A and B are shown apart, each in its own frame.
Chain A
Amino acid sequence: MRWGVIVFPGSCDEQDVYDCLKHVLKQDVEFLWHRDNLKNGFDCLVLPGGFSYGDYLRAGAMARFSPVMRGVVEFAARGGLVLGICNGFQILCEAGLLPGVLTRNSSLQFVCRQVYLRLEETDTPFTSAGKKGQLLKLPVKHGEGCYYADPDTLERLRHNRQILFRYVDGRGKNAPGANPNGSIDDIAGVCNEGRNVFGLMPHPEDAAEKILGSEDGLKIFSSIAAACEKREREVRVG
């Protein structure tokens, strides 16, 4: 399978994602430039974290108009896998590929720390390698990670089981101090209805090696890799 990591002006974590995929997971991965049209031949596109366009105006607001994003929207419509991490999540929301919006942390401060996530749904390409209720320890680092959706949307998200991760404490329980940004319903990551577009505030790429304190982030990347391989097999057989 082939991964594409999109580089916007102001992206910061593209190298982290690249190194994790290339050197830890030995994947085939390439950077894609925001100003180019999207090339064919990718199985999963990653929109990395950072501060595209300085996060000026609203996080993700300007990046979504980059030329490459037209291709991303089409790619997603055809069922391609799209993973947005942090700023990437914000861009996907602004672009309408994911519901809701990420607003300023309720503390009004940037927050950088380790958090625990509870895996809520496993029937997506992003989470299939995990178990329901499983805990992942990942870092967050963002100033605008407070997820918000209006009550109807939120109800739909729950009904369709689109909430893939929630912030919990070290024992897997919802707790006041566990949610780092005030997200509604402790939401840390959601997918679209088609379950092929996923946005996540914490950073799996920064928790992919023991020496960095956690390898839990690999769960997400290896789920995606497994899902793509399965698809390839099905195509070959079918």
Chain B
Amino acid sequence: MSQAERFQPSLTPEVIASHGLTQDEYQRIVKLLGREPNYTELGVFSVMWSEHCSYKSSRRWLKSLPTDGPAVLQGPGENAGIVDIGDGLAAVFKIESHNHPSFIEPYQGAATGVGGILRDVFTMGARPIASLNSLRFGAFDDPRTRYLLCGVVAGIGGYGNCVGVPTVGGELFFDECYNSNILVNAFTLGIAKKKRIFKGRAKGVGNPLIYVGAKTGRDGIHGATMASEAFSEATEKRRPTVQVGDPFTEKLLLEACLELMEKDCLVGIQDMGAAGLTSSSAEMAARAGTGVELELSLVPLREQGMTPYEILLSESQERMLLVARKGSEDEVKRVFGRWDLDAVVVGQVSRGRLFRALFHGEEVVRIPVEALTSGAPVYNRPVERPEGHDEVQRLDLSKVREPEDLGAVLRTLLDSPNIASKEWVYRQYDHFVRSNTVVAPGADAAVIRIKGTEKGLALTADGNSRYCYLDPYVGGVLAVAEAARNLASVGARPLGLTDCLNFGSPEKPEVMWQFSQVIQGMRDGCVGLGVPVVSGNVSFYNETDGRPIHPTPVVAMVGLLLRVARCVTPWFKSPGDLVVLLGRTREELGGSEYLKVVHGLVRGTPPWIDLKLERAVQQCCLRAIERGIVRSAHDVSQGGLAVALAECSIGGTERAMGARIETQEMMRADALLFGESQSRIVVSIKERDLGRLKEIAAREGAPLRVIGVVGGTRLIIQPLIQVPVEELKSIWSSSLERRLK
């Protein structure tokens, strides 16, 4: 019996099923190969055809998203998307989920999520300069919530801080639908020279494949490893382990890769993420139309006795696969040696479009590259609007009692963890490193300057899953609209977005309905506001005991400021400034935080949106900021107008400052104060600039109304609310910390 055969147990139906492959999929493999696969090949197919790698359930829908735009240099399909920011520079960014690992081990799960997204970005030749994180946890009364939140936040900080990439913003939302399925989505943005962008392509037959970074262990290998009898003895030892992140090695890897990219050695490069060595090599070959040949015995191992199967499927962190120009091996080794890292030739680019793996010279895998990539099945899964959805959307406002003490409601909302200050979180993230941070976390969007230019980039992540649950189509539109509005509020014009689509099981027609609706909504939002999708990620199967999470698309959008010095923060600046509301308030309460917190209701339809109006309001805000007449700007989102005004008063990193507001609208007071009508931005201006602002608003078609004046120590909303700002500030600032004590 040869060395290789010992590792190739036979394929029973159980073994196939335990690899997550259906009988149909197995037959498809047999057809593509023209024979039965061996055990290792089955493993390779199972990871490459997994939902995570192949997008088999989502691909059909994702195609409808607009991916083109004047600034787009690279749309979806590569490790990250790229947009042009002028001056010969490009912004490279992507978001990715690490939901399940973070639930199992919050610190390490979140940490390795950050590690993975960083590699996705620097693999393209970009130096990461800012990260965001979008988090969803269960309700605070779930005993695990605190533990998970503390672990995840510490893990994100622990990794990102150590690598020296500032985490400048994000999202944090609590809802019982996430009790057993938390969401941890990590985003990173890097800057590259336009002329030095690297792609994952295995070009040039004969070029060496070079493995760099950490050694390979049994981390994260699909549980299926144990399904075969051959492995049943030492099962305990071989148990797939949680991946532990090593940010120090990542930092060295990052510096070494960027140093190498300055030289003329690299042909292609890709990080080893999900499905490790297998997907990095197969995908690079697929993109280049070549083949690859790997000698697995050359792969640096951390553990003894690893089989070809394990080596190919390991998801050990902090590893990259390079395709180098033949003859430059020594140069590559020298650069990595300088950073105390190994670089080992483990194979080469070959002719014939075959994915081949050898183990001590014996062939263990021989699969046509296309069979693994474009050959993966694509499903057109059934779609069905859930029964009872009409009932969920029904909201009889006449049955919702209007509270008497509206000041108390404002206090309650500012105390809600979904609205309260997130400082407890971002205090644990280094948001200053690289000395670019112009607007730190706490504002509508973070702003970083681009050294050597006058420009800046703004970043935000948004997605209200309550809206998506009530109406996934509208929720999809709103996710895009809110992100763009947050950018407009600091003065940035959107360049592109990346999205992370977190859903339940695609095998459920109701979930696929939500998915398809959200995508269509996002598409319309993108088209309406002129923002292309340049990269993204889909995370299905976020459900426990058959209960899926609310559909949760997260949109991370990047915008450009031509003059970063002009950027604006949400906080009132000086007494006497006028408070102006751009946009219009409608009587809408469906899906609001108010309805949930005060009345315990998650019902109705989310706020209405007209993309033309949205665009007009955003354009007006942008133009006014660019003219330099806006002193502060803050969009109205969760908690409505009253909460937005309170946030402007509280002052964030600046001095607290009250305001006196007059209301006129004829509608329920709670809807006026706490309804979440879209397309609204609160700005403050000097009185003398009102005429200019009105002109801009008229030209853009944006409704505008002066609603009050900055000043005093209280927030007064005549005749409904009157509270000292210091009191609001103390409630808002201490909420999270108090709950975590």
Contact = CB atoms under 8 A, between A and B. Distances in A.
Contacts of B252: 9-10
A104 to B, nearest CB: 13
Interface in A27-68: 49-51, 53-56
Query: Which of A12, A13, A15 has most chain B Cβ within 10 Å?
Result: A12
A166 interface: no
Interface string A76-99: 000000000000000000000000
Nearest to A111: B427
A113 interface: yes
A212 B429 CA distance: 17
Contacts of B638: none
A10 B159 CA distance: 12
Interface in A91-141: 109-114, 139, 141
A209 B432 CA distance: 13
A199 B653 CA distance: 27
Interface residues of A, number: 33
B431 interface: yes
A105 to B, nearest CB: 10
B161 A16 contact: no
Contact of B435 (A20, A55, A56, A143): A20
Contact of A50 (B157, B164, B449): B164
Contacts of B162: 10, 12, 51, 54-55
Given A10-B248, A54-B248, A211-B449, A112 B428 contact: yes
A187 interface: no
A110 B340 contact: no
A116 to B, nearest CB: 14
Given A9-B339, A51-B162, A205-B435, A56 B248 contact: yes
Contact of A13 (B249, B433, B440, B564): B433
Interface string B211-255: 000000000000000000000000000000000001111011000
A109 B653 contact: no
Contact of A112 (B246, B429, B438, B449): B429
Contacts of A111: 427-428
Interface in B685-709: none
B451 A19 contact: yes
A21 to B, nearest CB: 12
B246 A54 contact: yes
A51 B653 contact: no
A12 B166 CA distance: 10
Contacts of A11: 164
A50 B565 CA distance: 28
A44 B339 CA distance: 26
B158 interface: yes
A142 to B, nearest CB: 9
B554 to A, nearest CB: 23
Given A19-B451, A51-B162, A112 B251 contact: no
Contacts of B432: 112, 139, 141, 203, 206, 212
Contacts of A9: 248, 251-252, 339-340
B428 A16 contact: no
Given A19-B451, A203-B432, A212 B437 contact: yes
A115 to B, nearest CB: 12
Contacts of B449: 211
Nearest to A112: B430
A13 B564 CA distance: 22
B435 A109 contact: no
A221 B570 CA distance: 33
A188 interface: no
B217 to A, nearest CB: 18
Contacts of B426: 112
A54 B339 CA distance: 13
A54 B214 CA distance: 14
A69 interface: no
Looking at chain B, what size class is its interface with the partner chain? Answer: 20 to 34
Interface in B422-456: 426-435, 437-438, 440, 449, 451
A178 interface: no
Pick from B161, B247, B430, B449 the residue with the most CB of A within 10 Å: B430
A54 B159 CA distance: 10
Contacts of A53: 248
A201 interface: no
A12 B433 contact: yes
B154 interface: yes
Given A9-B339, A10-B251, A109-B154, A15 B427 contact: no
B428 A109 contact: yes
Nearest to A23: B451
A16 B437 CA distance: 12
A112 B430 CA distance: 6
A208 interface: yes
A211 B47 CA distance: 48
A19 B433 CA distance: 12
Contacts of A212: 432, 435, 437-438
Nearest to A49: B433
Contacts of A141: 161, 430-433
A56 B440 CA distance: 28
A114 B431 CA distance: 11
A79 B469 CA distance: 67
B339 A110 contact: no
Nearest to A203: B432
Contacts of A51: 161-162, 164, 247-248, 251
A211 B564 contact: yes
A48 B558 CA distance: 30
A171 B441 CA distance: 25
A206 B449 CA distance: 13
A50 B246 CA distance: 15
B435 A54 contact: no
Interface string B552-579: 0000000000001100000000000000
A8 to B, nearest CB: 11
Given A55-B162, A112-B426, A16 B248 contact: no
Contacts of B249: 54
A192 B7 CA distance: 63
Contacts of B164: 11-13, 50-51
Interface in B597-621: none
Nearest to A217: B435
Nearest to A205: B435
B565 A211 contact: yes
A53 B429 CA distance: 19
Contacts of B431: 112, 141
Interface in A177-198: none
A78 B181 CA distance: 60
B251 A113 contact: no
Nearest to A50: B164
A54 B161 contact: no
A10 B256 CA distance: 12
A132 B609 CA distance: 58
Contacts of B565: 211
B733 to A, nearest CB: 12
B120 to A, nearest CB: 20
A13 B429 CA distance: 15
26 contacts: A9-B251, A9-B340, A10-B252, A12-B164, A12-B433, A16-B433, A19-B435, A51-B164, A51-B248, A54-B162, A54-B249, A109-B428, A110-B158, A110-B161, A110-B428, A112-B428, A112-B429, A114-B653, A141-B161, A141-B431, A205-B435, A206-B432, A206-B433, A206-B435, A211-B438, A211-B449
Interface of A: 9-13, 15-16, 19-20, 49-51, 53-56, 109-114, 139, 141, 143, 203, 205-206, 208-209, 211-213
Q: Which 10 A-B pairs have the closest CB atoms?
A: A54-B248, A12-B164, A16-B435, A51-B162, A141-B430, A206-B432, A139-B432, A110-B428, A206-B435, A110-B157
Given A16-B435, A212-B438, 17 more contacts: A9-B252, A10-B248, A13-B164, A16-B433, A19-B435, A51-B164, A51-B251, A53-B248, A54-B246, A54-B247, A56-B248, A112-B426, A113-B427, A139-B432, A203-B432, A206-B433, A209-B435
